[in-house]
């Protein structure tokens, strides 16, 4: 694995976990499984690469301020293939 993305937990209470994810160029989250429903709020505009368990690589174009949500159960590795830092905030509902 290349260098890891840098998570900073901002809130972790009985209702939510809010984490800022900072991705320097070439960094990645590592393989993980989402056990909670979540919302992602991109703070940066750009592309991230998502590797899926079936070997597929999907390029995802994100726009600062345009949130999206996903249900629990996703498994993937998220990579910043770009030349600049990428930042998003992830809000998990407990």
> How far apart are the C-alpha atoms of 3 and 53, rounded to whole Å?
20
What CATH number corresponds to the domain at position 16?
2.60.120.10
Residue 66 included in any domain: yes
Residue 46 included in any domain: yes
Q: pLDDT-derived band of residue 1, with 50, 70 and 90 as boundaries?
A: low
Q: Whole domain around residue 58: which residue ranges?
A: 6-93
Residue 15 included in any domain: yes
Residues near 69 by beta carbon (within 8 Å), at least 6 away in sequence: 37, 38, 39, 40
Smallest Cα–Cα separation from 22: which of 41, 44, 7? 7
Residue 1 included in any domain: no
Residue 63 included in any domain: yes
Residue pLDDT, tens place only, 61-93: 999 999 999 999 999 999 999 999 999 999 999
Rg of the chain, C-alpha, whole Å: 13
Count of domains forming the chain: 1
Residue 34 included in any domain: yes
């Amino acid at each position: 694995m290349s260098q890891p993305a840098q998570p900073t937990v901002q809130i972790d209470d009985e209702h939510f976990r809010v984490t800022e994810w900072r991705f320097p160029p070439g960094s990645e989250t590592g393989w993980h499984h989402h056990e909670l429903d979540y919302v992602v709020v991109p703070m940066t505009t750009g592309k991230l690469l998502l590797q899926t368990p079936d070997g597929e690589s999907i390029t995802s174009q994100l726009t600062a301020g345009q949130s999206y949500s996903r249900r629990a159960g996703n498994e993937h590795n998220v990579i910043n293939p770009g030349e600049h830092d990428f930042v998003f905030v992830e809000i998990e509902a407990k």
